Amino acid sequence: MSEETSAFCKSAFLIILIIPQFIIAQNQPVSPLVASYIHHQEMKSQSLYGLEWITLGPTLNSARVEAVQVDPSSPGTMYVAFGSGGLWKTVNNGMSWRCIFENMPSLGIGDIALAPSNPEVIYVGTGESLKKARNFTMPGTGIYRSDDGGEHWKNIGLSDAWHIGEIVVHPENPDIVLVAVLGHFWSSNKHRGIFKTIDGGKTWSHVLYIDEKTGANDITFSLADPNKLYATTWEMHPDVNGAQSGIFTSIDGGTTWQKAVKGITIDDHTGRIGIAASHQNADKAYAFINQRNRPSDRGAGEIYKTTDGGMTWQKTHSSDIMALSVVGWYFMDIYVNPSDDEEIFGLGVRLIHSTDGGQNFDYIGGEVHHLTPSPAQTLHLDHCELWINPDNPEELVLGNDGGLYHSYDKGASWLHLNNIPTGEFYDIEIDNAEPYTIYGGTQDDATVFGFSEEWNAKYNDRWRYLWIDAWSGGDGCITLVDPEDPNTVYFSMQNGGARRMDLEKGTSVSIRPRFKKE
């Protein structure tokens, strides 16, 4: 069947797919999504109607970004992957985008990686990396490879991985790849841990395995010595923490691994761990740990540093980094300035920044401008991935629950590239008007409403917010329009909020039920 991608991508939850070639590696079972997709294609071919989906929008409130990559050798070329909206590419610095991972039985993406020695070689790990009970976290169908910048794709195995934490490609050889596999989120499975290929995905070796409930979350090469790697494991089933979470190192290119946690408290309350290595010193690295054993019942984020290749670790700070730990199992990514290994960035609910190796931190916010006009005022919360330009560390590209943000002054100001139609909807509602209006509650991007007309990227988005919180987001849930009075709208939001709005006046009142106090 065809492996061609279409010239344009439909809405995130309305994609029409054509199945590519699949292979089975390590005798892993093929994801049930593949059979479901084949059945979908069969039903579509037998349909008497021949209907096709069109994109309605919106774009102004964007969507949750799981991964970002930029091609330093080709200015203006960026890739962004969404939790449930596929992989998109721009060659003009975000002015326009094209979906390059359509016609696949996987909407959710965990990570993407460009080969440093040949950025036309791209690896995609399907199955998003966010384990969140209140979302439908999209599982995947394995690892895919493209040799022509995303024009054509081939599935290269790890079909039972389901969720991918991180992909790293050797700095000099595009066929040497290591993948941190989280595994099944809600059940045990043995195909999790670290996998390695030396032939571009034709064969894989399972190089690090703990047990059926412990996956691998993060992995990185030391660019100072590619034989040196750091990786983290995460005991994530049935809870989000456990004593098998930890840090491992390799000195032979990822073939063998040694546990390296001396100086770190590891117990049943240790959660997700991120890892980052210095670009200049192979023995220097940072770990960002969700320690749920702290005095607060919410736990605390902790950052540790090693200067001896992981033999010992030291906590860099004396106070708890609470802003990173409220939902630490969601985040815990850490990044090092490629030119200065004392400057680090930590991704959590907020974006934190340190210039002294993690002893002191400040928050990065900055002034936000939107490519599509939007009333949102702040840098969105809940950060998932950061790209730092290795040639100019002032340039940052940030992906979070509010979409994609680009900065040329290290976060003092941002351009919000909110021109990609990939919103993740919890629920939609239509009124009885002619033409009808569509209302939708979205994942951390509030509630929006708009029109039943095809979206045109040449014009500003006509959708509007029904409401938005002070941090430019908030989970929108159920929306209902009074069937006899379309001016009256009922809507709900995160934490049980419920309100009735008068659209003409633009005001709303709380209708949330409350128990009477005794």
Tell me the per-residue pLDDT of 237-250, one tens digit each, with 9 for 90 and over: 888 889 999 999 99
Look at residue 326 in the predicted model and tell me its pLDDT: 60
Q: Where are the beta strands (DSSP E) in 223-309?
A: 225-235, 246-250, 258-259, 270-277, 285-291, 300-306
Instruction: Give the three-class secondary structure for 46.
Output: helix
The residues spanned by each domain of the chain are: 1-209, 214-330, 425-510
Single-letter residue type at 274 = G
Single-letter residue type at 222 = S
Which comes out higher in pLDDT, residue 180 or 4? 180
> Could you report the per-residue pLDDT of 7-39, keeping only the tens digit for each?
334 333 332 233 333 334 456 888 889 999 999
Residues 89-100 have a mean pLDDT of: 95
Own/partner long-range contacts of 489-492 (Cβ < 8 Å, ≥24 apart): 489/439, 491/439, 491/441, 491/447, 491/466, 491/467, 492/441
- Is a pLDDT exceeding 50 seen at residue 3? no
Read off the pLDDT band of 166 (50, 70, 90). Answer: very high
Look at residue 322 in the predicted model and tell me its pLDDT: 61
> Could you report the per-residue pLDDT of 313-354, keeping only the tens digit for each?
999 998 777 655 567 778 889 999 999 999 999 998 899 999
Residues 367-383 have a mean pLDDT of: 93
Look at residue 298 in the predicted model and tell me its pLDDT: 56
DSSP 50-63: ----------TT--
Which comes out higher in pLDDT, residue 517 or 5? 517
Residues 298-306 have a mean pLDDT of: 84
Q: 1-209 — its CATH code?
A: 2.120.10
* Cα dihedral across residues 331, 333, 334, 337: positive or negative: negative
Residues 447-452 have a mean pLDDT of: 93
Beta bridge partners of 337: 340
> Could you report the per-residue pLDDT of 403-434, keeping only the tens digit for each?
999 999 999 999 999 999 998 999 999 999 88
Q: Where are the beta strands (DSSP E) in 358-402?
A: 362-364, 367-370, 383-388, 396-400
Read off the pLDDT band of 59 (50, 70, 90). Answer: very high
Look at residue 154 in the predicted model and tell me its pLDDT: 95
Could you tell me the CA-to-CA distances from 130 to 114, 150, 240, 392 in Å, in that order?
Answer: 21, 24, 11, 30
